[in-house]
Structure 1
């Protein structure tokens, strides 16, 4: 049972890292589930404090993931159309076979959202698209960092308790 939970936990933490970049997968909560699986292994003593603190961090970052890009858009004068354009542009950028599509897509999506749907003039639309893009980058950076920290904690706990799992 220990090995099964260890493998499932590792898979969940790795999927969480992918989810930190892909908008359809809640990366940080999935990485946290990987830590939870690790602690559910019968050989490892359960640490409520660790699970609660990392869980609160995961929930907070999940909520902030929706707030930070909107803050970036609003701060630079953007609208909901720009924020939606960022998300749609990210999805198109991931699927499009162009280099750096994941970076170009959100910016172009926000710009098109502002120009077409909000009918913002050129310079204001460009500024709003830039704000939306900065919000997206900030949110993505925080999520990637958090999921990598969760992976590091996972690996650390496995190596510190190696003899419990493989004895």
Structure 2
């Protein structure tokens, strides 16, 4: 049973880290769920109140950052609400439409089209599209760092 428990925990950590890059995967929720799986298979005794406060705080920050950082990238370069919506839609649909590069092209095109629909010039729309890519890369970096922190804290607490 121990091997199965560790297999599931590690698999959820891997899914969580992949979710930092690929937004369709549950990312931080997979890592958070892994904490419960460990408790169910082994023991919740290793966890203290501070452990749960820290992990939950990181979870909340990640949920907020996931959307705020992408919107920040678009807004930073003068994007409108339409370009933020377009970028978000492109982020979700892009990987399905263009499997290899959709994760980058989707938000870019979404923000570009969204901004053009508001009547902005092609130059400004292109700039906003680049802002969405900047926001995407910033968001991925923040997610990778914070999700790694969750995993490291888990291993420090357990061992």
TM-score (norm: length of structure 2): 0.80
Residue pair 2:70, 2:139 contacting (<8 A) in 1 also: yes
Residue pair 2:20, 2:27 contacting (<8 A) in 1 also: yes
The aligned residue for residue 52 of structure 1 is 53
Measure how far apart 1:138 and its partner are: 0.8
Measure how far apart 1:139 and its partner are: 0.9
The aligned residue for residue 8 of structure 2 is 8
Q: Secondary structure at the match of 2:136?
A: helix
Measure how far apart 1:11 and its partner are: 2.3
Q: Secondary structure at the match of 1:47?
A: coil
Counterpart CA distance in 2 for 1:98 and 1:41 is 37
The aligned residue for residue 95 of structure 2 is 94
**Structure 1 residues 7, 99: closer, same or farther in 2, change over 3 A?**
closer
Residue pair 1:38, 1:154 contacting (<8 A) in 2 also: no
Measure how far apart 1:151 and its partner are: 4.0
Q: Secondary structure at the match of 2:46?
A: coil
Counterpart CA distance in 2 for 1:55 and 1:37 is 16
The aligned residue for residue 146 of structure 1 is 146
Higher gyration radius (CA):
1
Counterpart CA distance in 2 for 1:97 and 1:126 is 20
Counterpart CA distance in 2 for 1:52 and 1:98 is 38
Counterpart CA distance in 2 for 1:61 and 1:98 is 25
**Structure 1 residues 69, 10: closer, same or farther in 2, change over 3 A?**
same
Q: Structure 1 unaligned runs (5+)?
A: 161-167
Give the number of aligned pairs: 158
TM-score (norm: length of structure 1): 0.77
Measure how far apart 1:75 and its partner are: 1.7
Measure how far apart 1:121 and its partner are: 0.9
Measure how far apart 1:119 and its partner are: 2.1
The aligned residue for residue 76 of structure 1 is 77
Measure how far apart 1:2 and its partner are: 4.3
The aligned residue for residue 18 of structure 2 is 18
